[in-house]
């Protein structure tokens, strides 16, 4: 089975998050993901990219999509995507917003993984691509 990779690199600015949604939806449709799953994917990508947006707009957010057999995986990485805040450390509106965003991704894709030591990426996969 041939592995297919697609990559989008956008500035870490809020105005570009919509571009990432369009990219992810296009990759999913091309990979045979059912239309009923595309809205969930756009939501997860939007939440992940929002976590990588920087106030100063410096840096980039990179969205990797890998189709391997029937599994379509996404990885969103960026310079400043932080780990999920711990429950007792949701101290600012920004960390609260990010916490809700991560919860949304986790709810949509229970296999999602989030930045931790040694990794600055959010990853999740869809298993029903044809």
Of these, 26, 60, 71, 104, which contacts another protein (CB under 8 A)?
104
Q: Is 15 in the site for another protein (CB under 8 A)?
A: yes
Choose between 75 and 102: whose C-beta lies nearer to another protein: 102
Q: Is 108 in the site for another protein (CB under 8 A)?
A: yes
- The CA–CA distances, whole Å, from 95 to 9, 40, 70, 89 equal 24, 23, 35, 8
Tell me the per-residue interface mask from 21 to 60 with another protein, x by CB under 8 A, - otherwise: x-----------------xx-xx--xx-xx--x-------
Q: Is 4 in the site for another protein (CB under 8 A)?
A: no
Q: Is 94 in the site for another protein (CB under 8 A)?
A: no
Q: Is 14 in the site for another protein (CB under 8 A)?
A: yes
Place of tokens 């990794």: 119
Residue 13 near residue 79, CB atoms below 8 Å: no
Give the DSSP per-residue string, 34-52.
-HHHHHHHHHHHHHHHHHH
Half-sphere exposure of 14 (CA within 13 A, CB side): 2
Residue 29 near residue 65, CB atoms below 8 Å: no
Binding site for another protein (CB under 8 A): 14-15, 17-18, 21, 39-40, 42-43, 46-47, 49-50, 53, 97, 100-101, 103-104, 107-108
């Amino acid at each position: 089975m041939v592995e297919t990779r697609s990559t989008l690199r956008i500035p870490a600015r809020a105005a570009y998050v919509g571009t990432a949604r369009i990219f992810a939806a296009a990759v999913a449709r091309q990979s045979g993901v059912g239309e009923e799953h595309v809205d969930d994917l756009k939501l997860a990508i939007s939440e992940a990219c929002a976590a990588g947006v920087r106030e100063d707009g410096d840096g980039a957010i990179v969205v990797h999509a890998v189709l391997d057999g029937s599994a379509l995986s996404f990885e969103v990485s960026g310079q400043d995507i932080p780990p999920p805040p711990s429950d007792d450390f949701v101290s600012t509106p920004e960390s609260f917003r990010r916490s809700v965003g991560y919860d949304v991704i986790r709810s949509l894709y229970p296999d999602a993984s989030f930045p931790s030591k040694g990794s600055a990426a959010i990853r999740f996969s869809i298993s029903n691509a044809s």
